[in-house]
Structure 1
Amino acid sequence: MTNNQLQKIGWNEFFKDNMAVKLENTFPARVIAQKGDVYTLLSEQGEHNAKVTGKFRFNTKQVKDFPVVGDFVIVGKAKGSDNIQIHELLDRKNSFSRKMPISGGRKLKDNMIDGGVTEEQVIAANLDVIFVICGLDGNFSIPRLERYLALIRHQNLNVAILLNKLDLCENMEEKINEVSKIAGNAPVLAVSALTKQGIGQLSEYITCGKTIAFVGSSGVGKSTLLNSLFEDQVQITNTTSDHSGKGKHTTTHRQMFFHQTGCMIIDTPGMKELQLWADEEDISTVYQAVIDTIARCKFSNCTHDGEPGCAIKDALDSGELSEQRYIRYKKSLKEVRRLEERKREYKNKKMKRGR
């Protein structure tokens, strides 16, 4: 791989400028797959499998600071061996993250999932656009799309919403309109990965040097869409239930695929748990219609609980604002405020342990 080829996989001045003093016999590489603690890398020297050095692991205190697919890292041969090791993670241009899922101690508090470690889990890094994929079958979910949008807004990532399984949908226009109401400025594209209907709309995104991430729940057709774009069976797919629209976790790890155009596409496993890693501003952006309605309230301290001149009450009564969407706004706002509390608690505990 030449230096020009390194640039084709996303290397640019941003990463070069953020590279510390280069260690002897080290070179940059991009993470293109991850299975557990083993990373597959691509560099000017070719493809390698590598783990982080003991020093890297010892000095890294948070999960978010370990490499993920899409990252650029500095690597070199282990002393007295031909094995490649990861020495350094370069600064990220951006990332797509969620709050770490809860493996134990899950509980409901104020009708919200609570517990687990209050840390950021990075799913993919250094992205040009995210495709949020939603099924036009039993998998269709406006609340889930809103949560994805909140996570994406937190990093100011470019996003397109792909409504897949067009071939199974009888009320396509109705669902497109429903999604458009919550999409903000994100384009909403209806496609069928199976029949390739509407796939041509994606050509403006699938371009040389760009990195795209596919995200969405299991069963939405991410792997089928990937196969359709590559015109090859690059990912294994499973048939979803006709009744529920749910699918198995066909994709078991994150991996980058290289399209013939030179575009890089990261496929990710379906996410069952999508806890927010966002703030109040992100929630306000996703629920802009609610914010605009609140701004019309007669009193600035209106609690929207029966006060005179409450624009929220009027909008709910007239049908201008969906009651379910308003409920989701309040729940999301409560969730991110609780997240901020837990971040402060987590930080204080770390400070006490460090004394």
Structure 2
Amino acid sequence: MNQLERKDFHSFFQEQVKEEEHVARVTRFSHGIYTLADDTHTYTANLSGRYHYESVKSRDYPAVGDWVVFQPYENKEKAIIHRLLQRRTLLSRKQAGTGNEEQVIASNIDKVFIVTALTQEFNVRRLERYVQQVYESGAMPVVVCTKRDLCKDVEEKIAHVNLSAPGVPAHAVNTLTGEGVELLLAEVQPGETISLIGSSGVGKSTLINRILNDEVQKTKQVRESDDRGRHTTTHRELFSMPNDIFIIDTPGMRELQLWGEERGVESTFVDIERLSLHCKFRDCKHTSEPGCAVQKAIEAGEIDEGRLKSFKKLKRELHRLELKDRHGQHITNRMLHGPNKNKFSN
């Protein structure tokens, strides 16, 4: 293997590759076909028969952002993928429906730009879900509020973001003029990979075009009646910038179903977790118990009551997910709705 010069090929990945092996990064996946890129070539690739046979779960398969070991053929235009390198981070969500399957969004991401619009789409409860999933991935979240030119109370909404995502950087940008984009990009260092996630119509594709200074992604008009856009991006794709920063765009989401562990909620709601340490009872549910520091903070206007409800809802959702993974759907329903349900509920 020729040592790759790409700055995103960190030592973490280098140590996993033998000298005679070819390695490249997955830059696109669409209709069962992978696109790989190394320093000099782009390959159209498929999985080897053995790889496909040994893969069981969705996370076993390569995702956009992954590094893979491959064998080129047909004059270095096509390739067979033989092995997936261990990941640094993995951004996933639960697949839609009543099942318990993971859907991988992208991998090996350093920072995730959570894109939301400062218009009717703005929703701090939804934002909390995105922040939760990013922390679960191992990446760091950054909130990007687009369409600042259409908002009359930008500072007030950014203040709401800061309360709903403590410690998470938040930027208001105008993707049409570029206002605020330079400060946003200061969050990223050369060699890092960022991913953009958010609902459809919030301006992810327009932001990508502004960052790359090129019309690489198609954009569509947003309906004025409900501020909703149609899915512009239909697949996941990795783009590279001249300053050695890499960007993964993803399709817009109508709904983000969480994937992860219940304990991961602590990172998103660090303010509530800190207050919980001062509650009179260690197992305080933050409802009507005497000496509840969280309820005291709500009464003092320090925390929004909706944030506490969101905290409890996400914990219940992830708790149920863990039970389903451990016991299956039928047993989980009996645990949560049967005569001993209080034993398993939060």
Asked if Structure 1 and Structure 2 have the same fold, meaning a TM-score greater than 0.5 normalized by the shorter chain, the answer is yes
Corresponding residue for residue 84 of structure 2 = 89
- Contact 1:8 1:208 (C-alpha < 8 Å) held by counterparts: no
Corresponding residue for residue 238 of structure 1 = 220
Could you tell me how far 1:297 is from its partner in structure 2? 2.4
| Pair 1:145 & 2:127 matched | yes
- The 5 A counterparts of 1:165-244 are 165-205=147-187, 207-244=189-226
Distance 1:175 1:83 in 2: 49
Of the structure 1 ranges 57-66 and 288-297, higher mean CA displacement relative to structure 2 is found in 288-297
Distance 1:281 1:261 in 2: 37
Equivalent in 261, 274, 290 of residue 243 of structure 2: 261
Equivalent in 304, 313, 321 of residue 303 of structure 2: 321
- The 5 A counterparts of 1:93-108 are 93-102=88-97
Of the structure 1 ranges 196-205 and 212-221, higher mean CA displacement relative to structure 2 is found in 196-205
Corresponding residue for residue 16 of structure 1 = 14
Distance 1:203 1:320 in 2: 31
Distance 1:307 1:210 in 2: 46
Of the structure 1 ranges 194-203 and 218-227, higher mean CA displacement relative to structure 2 is found in 194-203
Equivalent in 30, 49, 54 of residue 59 of structure 1: 54
Could you tell me how far 1:227 is from its partner in structure 2? 1.0
Could you tell me how far 1:143 is from its partner in structure 2? 1.1
Distance 1:312 1:205 in 2: 32
User: Which amino acid is the alignment partner of residue 262 of structure 1?
Assistant: D
Could you tell me how far 1:128 is from its partner in structure 2? 2.0
Corresponding residue for residue 324 of structure 2 = 342
User: Which amino acid is the alignment partner of residue 325 of structure 1?
Assistant: R
User: Which amino acid is the alignment partner of residue 159 of structure 1?
Assistant: P
User: Which amino acid is the alignment partner of residue 13 of structure 2?
Assistant: F
Corresponding residue for residue 352 of structure 1 = none
Distance 1:167 1:82 in 2: 45
Q: What secondary structure is seen at the aligned counterpart in 2 of 1:7?
A: coil
Q: What secondary structure is seen at the aligned counterpart in 2 of 1:69?
A: coil
Of the structure 1 ranges 51-60 and 240-249, higher mean CA displacement relative to structure 2 is found in 240-249
Q: 1:216 to 1:3 in 2, by over 3 A?
A: farther
User: Which amino acid is the alignment partner of residue 314 of structure 2?
Assistant: S
| Pair 1:36 & 2:34 matched | no
Could you tell me how far 1:175 is from its partner in structure 2? 0.2
- Contact 1:75 1:84 (C-alpha < 8 Å) held by counterparts: yes
Corresponding residue for residue 258 of structure 2 = 276
Could you tell me how far 1:207 is from its partner in structure 2? 4.6
Q: What secondary structure is seen at the aligned counterpart in 2 of 1:8?
A: coil
User: Which amino acid is the alignment partner of residue 284 of structure 2?
Assistant: C
User: Which amino acid is the alignment partner of residue 307 of structure 1?
Assistant: E
- Contact 1:167 1:195 (C-alpha < 8 Å) held by counterparts: no
- The 5 A counterparts of 1:97-136 are 97-102=92-97, 115-116=98-99, 118-136=100-118
- Contact 1:255 1:266 (C-alpha < 8 Å) held by counterparts: yes
Corresponding residue for residue 69 of structure 1 = 64
Corresponding residue for residue 111 of structure 1 = none
Question: TM-score by structure 1 length?
Answer: 0.86
Distance 1:259 1:179 in 2: 28
Could you tell me how far 1:308 is from its partner in structure 2? 2.8
- Contact 1:218 1:247 (C-alpha < 8 Å) held by counterparts: yes
Could you tell me how far 1:337 is from its partner in structure 2? 0.7
- Contact 1:162 1:188 (C-alpha < 8 Å) held by counterparts: yes
Distance 2:209 2:174 in 1: 12
Question: TM-score by structure 2 length?
Answer: 0.88
Q: What secondary structure is seen at the aligned counterpart in 1 of 2:209?
A: helix
Distance 2:266 2:300 in 1: 22
Corresponding residue for residue 47 of structure 1 = 42
- Contact 1:211 1:264 (C-alpha < 8 Å) held by counterparts: yes
Distance 2:168 2:298 in 1: 25
User: Which amino acid is the alignment partner of residue 70 of structure 1?
Assistant: G
Distance 1:13 1:308 in 2: 52
Q: 1:306 to 1:12 in 2, by over 3 A?
A: closer
Q: Give deviations 1:330-349, integer Å, cap 9, x for gaps.
A: 111111111110111259x9
- Contact 2:26 2:65 (C-alpha < 8 Å) held by counterparts: yes
Gaps of 5+ in 2: 332-346
Corresponding residue for residue 341 of structure 2 = none
Could you tell me how far 1:122 is from its partner in structure 2? 1.8
RMSD of aligned Cα (Å): 2.5
User: Which amino acid is the alignment partner of residue 210 of structure 1?
Assistant: E
Could you tell me how far 1:277 is from its partner in structure 2? 1.4
- Contact 2:164 2:307 (C-alpha < 8 Å) held by counterparts: no
Distance 2:319 2:6 in 1: 41
